[in-house]
Amino acid sequence: MTALEGTGVRSEPRTMSQRLARLAGSSPTHIILGIVGLIWLVPTIGILITSFRPGADMRATGWWTILFEPRFTLANYERVLSAEGMGGAFLNSLFIVIPSTILPLVFASMGAYALAWVKFPFRDTTFLIIVAMLMVPVQVGFIPLVTAFRESGTGLLTNYGGVWLAHTAYALPFGIFLLRNFFITLPRDLIEAARIDGASNVAIFRTIVVPLSVPAIAAYGIFQFLWTWNDLLMSLVYAQRNSIQPMTVKITQLLGTYATDWSLLAAASFLVMIVPLIVFISLQRYFVQGLLAGSVK
């Protein structure tokens, strides 16, 4: 028995083999999950490698042959970003996604606070109506909303305004439902103490509710960002001018034109994937906290 063992302190393994043996003995579940995760990553890795391979190599051999004959090129990305217009579509996606994420966050959080902590007539009935709206397919509103946009004379279907309003309207029911269920778990004594001190609803919302609800708000923001970035249907319906269409629409056009040029399509696909991956990986801590928020008061 070593001195550390006599004191009840576990010694850390010093060699790599000892570390691997300890990991295998104590965390078999982690190993299984790691293998499953690696299998799920294989298609993404294949797309990434294919996007950097010359077209001739891609048509002759599989992407895994780069282990033996590594040859890469940036020509696919240069062609996609410049000649095929994916660079402009990338900026369009940002112009659509950022306001379409911020607007629902602002309005949903304010509406959720009102339904959780502000007393007004038919409050519970209003919340039930909002919950019922979650069951209504978004396709039901396409024709009346497009007609209203067209007849308004504001050109909403030919600028970003139409798709911003559409994404915001369709996202509000879920956002209000999610955030309201978290807001009601906040300490009532804290809210009441602020009201006794003379704080208004705006002050309570800004200084107490929002700081305490960052995980839930961030989780909803991540959801909304990913949904909006990956959206194709509403972009086709509400962004009808080619110059404002996002990457999801542009890549469908490339698919119809270059159906056999897999290197070009792989480069375009990875451009569409990279931003959601960065957002999710960088904010996964808030995403997990938001999913668990409200489960334990």
pLDDT confidence bin for 24, thresholds 50/70/90 = low
Residues 59 and 85 in one domain: no
Q: Which of 78, 99, 132 is the last residue of a domain?
A: 78
How many angstroms separate the CA atoms of 113 and 201, rounded?
9
Indicate whether 101 and 221 sit together in one domain: yes
Could you identify the residue written with the tokens 């112009």?
95
Contact by Cβ (8 Å): 216, 294: yes
- Tens-digit pLDDT profile for residues 255-297: 766 656 777 888 888 888 888 888 888 877 776 666 665 554 4
The answer to whether residue 87 sits within a structural domain is yes
Neighbouring CB atoms inside 10 A of 105's CB total: 19
Containing domain of residue 16, as a range?
Answer: 3-78
Q: 158 with 287, same domain? A: yes
Regarding whether 167 and 33 lie in a shared domain, the answer is: no
Share of the chain above pLDDT 90, in %: 26
pTM: 0.78
Whether the per-residue pLDDT at 212 is higher than 80: the answer is yes
Are 8 and 88 part of one and the same domain? no
Q: Is residue 297 part of a domain?
A: no
In a 13 Å sphere around the CA of 120, the CA atoms on its Cβ side amount to 11
Q: Are 83 and 10 found together in one domain?
A: no
Question: Exposure pattern of 259-279 as b/e (b: 16+ CB <10 Å)?
Answer: eebbbbbbbbbbbbbebbeeb
Inform me whether the pLDDT recorded for 47 exceeds 80.
yes
Q: What are phi and psi of 152, to 5 degrees?
A: -75, -20
Q: Of 28, 51, 78, which residue sits at a domain end?
A: 78
If one counts the domains in the chain, the total is 2
**Local structure of 240: helix, strand or coil:** coil
pLDDT at 109: 95
CB atoms within 10 A of CB 159: 14
